[in-house]
Structure 1
Amino acid sequence: METLRLQTFMVFMLSSCGFVLSFQINHLLYTQSNPTAPQTLDRNDASSILNSNFDSSLPVKFIIHGYRESGNSEWALKMKDELLVHAPMNVIVVDWQDGSSGWYFTCSANTAQVGEDTHLLISHLQTQTGLSLNNVHLIGFSLGAQVAGNTGKRNPSIARISGLDPAGPDFSGKGASDRLDPTDAQFVDVLHTDGEPLWQGGFGYYEPCGHVDFYPNGGTRQPGCGLVGEICHHMRAPAYYTESINSDCPFTAYPCTLGQESCSTCNGNCGFMGFHADKSQANEVFYVETNSESPYCRG
């Protein structure tokens, strides 16, 4: 059974839809005025920005999908909806479907191009609308978290990056310049949910790579997800984060030592996992215990 799971995992990783040298990247704007019908922001067409509902006085949240996904992925749209319920803001979904659908290691290389393109859009928003980087928050899942890191490396003055189980394959073992890192934004918070080694079927990056790093249920296996190597463990990261946006339950996070099975004492330094994470807990590793099904928060 273990061999079968590993073979299935490797087929998933190595399957190819062709080597993509160039691909379409769309930045889709949603606001409370257009919560379901996005407006495309084109950095090469000033009118697409100036005639849109973009409001530079409001927070700007970028949602960036991962491997074999699109801007219409269910979790991305659900997160968009929760953000727009939370407060007036600009939500920009980065759709790089064509660049995320080929051979995995080509797609991982494509994260640099998507990061560059997103950085250039942010620069145009600064120039054309007066956007402050203190209003910019990138939320990336899996390869999307590495896209967010690549965006921040080009302008680390952006306010925040939230990395949702950053992709591990092709990034584990690399230096800070080649993966998501605390220097990529003023505040980088990271959720780790599927950090088993690659050979065991893990999709996520296990080592700390933010100012604060959260390890729900230890960061490798999530309750209710079944066998190691199932995508469920990886997908729990955006699920936890989305629930945290408007939940009355705070996802209390306990300071912990990496690799420790469980921690449940605050010692005056508990934090909150997810949307309401705080930089005041910088340079900390946190343990969070969740339920096996939604609602996931236990307190």
Structure 2
Amino acid sequence: MKVALVLFVTSTVYLAAALPAPSASPRFVQVPAGDDEVVTVDLEAEPDYKFLNDVARNPRNAYILFTRRNPHNGQTLILNDANSIRNSNFNPAHTTIAIAHGYIQSQNSNLNQIIRDAYLNRMEANVIVLDWSRISQMDYMTAIYAIPSVGQGLGNLLNFISTVTGAPLTNMHVTGFSLGSHVAGNAGRTIRGLARVTGLDPYSPVWNLNSNRLAASDAVYVEAIHTSGNTGNRLFADVDYFVNGGDNQPGCWTSICSHNRSWEVFAATVTFNHLHGNQCTNVAEMRNNQCRGSQLPLGNSDVNKRGSGIFRVNTGANFPY
């Protein structure tokens, strides 16, 4: 009983310290939820500490592997179970891509299938879909507080796979959408040496002062692709791409459409590698669409991609954008 109490108090103090004071953000904000809705959340709501204590001890997330040998029927990988790795279709010679979904989503959400298929149609790859829906479908603040544990679990799995199979971390790429962007960042900072992290529209007021947010130090190369709500207010990565200025995407009439455009554009670039950003000298130049600097590909499947700075990418309204 004493051990459980210590775990609970320690987790509570650590997680509470990671969040901004209530005055740092508006109390009620709208956030994307699931594939196609927006919900209003209270940033001062009390998270479920009992649930978070359980998550800290046992996240119980699922890791599902897809390869060209099983492109639609996933195989479950289990942390600390070497046979689950050895008996799967995981190939250490191939690039590994992990995908972390967002709030109120699951392994069955659209982005997982679209990104998975884009990779497997383009190349031999190990695509691992993280299902953290047991946590992501809780209330928003509880999900926010749990993100470090979720990311650490994913990072530990990738490290375990590397130990069991010899697959190098330098050939692994984690991409996350919305809240999943910060899961991806925490995965990278857990293991160090991860080749690449891509955050798909990571911006939200709650992340302004949160030390658990996506950061440039989370992998050898970190990029953020902004498509809604961020017009340069916050920079997250080695490279911050602002698609059409980071808000109000062409062909979109709702914020959730613009938000989802981040993973739609990313998947398109995995297939075609056709979109390039121009580097901007500063945020004002980006907002005014005056960037004329060197070009860098948006997204794509290159696990060893490199770059730094602010980039603006202008696209069309329809696939492949």
Are the counterparts in 1 of residues 97 and 127 from structure 2 also a CA contact under 8 Å? yes
Corresponding position of 1:114: 150
Within 5 Å, which residues of 2 pair with 1:28-67? 28-67=64-103
1:163-222 deviation digits (Å, cap 9, x = unpaired): 111142421133xx421111100000110111259xxxxxxx941211111001111221
> Alpha carbon RMSD of aligned pairs, Å?
2.4
> Which ranges of structure 1 fall in alignment gaps of 5 or more residues?
1-5, 198-204
**Distance in 2 between residues matched to 1:166 and 1:280, nearest whole Å:** 20
Are the counterparts in 2 of residues 145 and 167 from structure 1 also a CA contact under 8 Å? no
Match of 2:265 among 232, 237, 240: 240
- Aligned residues with identical type, % of pairs: 33
Corresponding position of 2:220: 186
Instruction: Write out the 4+ residue segments of structure 1 that deviate beyond 6 Å after TM superposition.
Output: none
Are the counterparts in 1 of residues 66 and 127 from structure 2 also a CA contact under 8 Å? yes
**Distance in 1 between residues matched to 2:173 and 2:184, nearest whole Å:** 9
Corresponding position of 2:34: none
Higher mean C-alpha deviation, range 64-73 or range 120-129: 120-129
Q: 1:7 to 1:156 in 2, by over 3 A?
A: closer
The one-letter code of the counterpart of 1:292 is A
How far did 1:11 drift?
4.5
How far did 1:123 drift?
1.9
How far did 1:266 drift?
3.9
Output the TM-score relative to the length of structure 1. 0.85
Q: 1:14 to 1:77 in 2, by over 3 A?
A: farther
SS at match of 1:170: helix
The one-letter code of the counterpart of 1:251 is L
How far did 1:8 drift?
6.5
Match of 1:162 among 198, 201, 216: 198
> Which ranges of structure 2 fall in alignment gaps of 5 or more residues?
1-27, 32-37
Corresponding position of 1:201: none
**Distance in 2 between residues matched to 1:104 and 1:231, nearest whole Å:** 16
1:198-255 deviation digits (Å, cap 9, x = unpaired): xxxxxxx94121111100111122122124xx2111111001000111126x212111
Output the TM-score relative to the length of structure 2. 0.79
Within 5 Å, which residues of 2 pair with 1:77-156? 77-156=113-192
Corresponding position of 1:209: 236
Q: 1:7 to 1:63 in 2, by over 3 A?
A: closer
Q: 1:194 to 1:29 in 2, by over 3 A?
A: same
1:149-170 deviation digits (Å, cap 9, x = unpaired): 1111112210000111114242
Corresponding position of 2:247: 220
**Distance in 1 between residues matched to 2:61 and 2:259, nearest whole Å:** 24
**Distance in 1 between residues matched to 2:177 and 2:233, nearest whole Å:** 14
Are the counterparts in 2 of residues 254 and 265 from structure 1 also a CA contact under 8 Å? yes
SS at match of 2:184: helix
Are the counterparts in 2 of residues 212 and 279 from structure 1 also a CA contact under 8 Å? no
Corresponding position of 2:35: none
1:2-34 deviation digits (Å, cap 9, x = unpaired): xxxx88668433499x93433530000000000
Q: 1:101 to 1:128 in 2, by over 3 A?
A: same
Match of 1:73 among 83, 99, 109: 109
Number of residue pairs matched by the alignment = 276
Are the counterparts in 2 of residues 194 and 206 from structure 1 also a CA contact under 8 Å? no
The one-letter code of the counterpart of 2:133 is Q
